[in-house]
Amino acid sequence: MILTNKVLCDLCGNCVAVCPQSCIEINHYCLKISHEQCIECQNCVAVCPSAALKQVQDDKN
């Protein structure tokens, strides 16, 4: 699962630009990922200028 660190995120939109699934959206104040559609290609992680996005193991805990 891709997680967002809201402290590091500047809402620049690079992740939206490269998401093949179009499952990332930035409204006025936050970034939203639809995890059901996400294929974890990590394009968004690759282009984030501040490591605000990170892939983590799926763990309900």
Nearest Cα neighbor of 1 from 44, 46, 55, 52 is: 55
* CB-based contact 44:1 (threshold 8 Å): no
Task: Give whichever of 1 and 42 is closer to another protein, judged by the CB atom.
Answer: 42
- Out of 3, 6, 40, 49, name the contact with another protein by CB under 8 A: 49
Site membership for another protein, residue 6 (CB under 8 A): no
Q: Identify the residue among 6, 13, 30, 40 touching another protein (CB under 8 A).
A: 13
Give the interface with another protein as residue ranges (CB under 8 A). 10, 12-14, 16-20, 22, 25-28, 43, 46-51
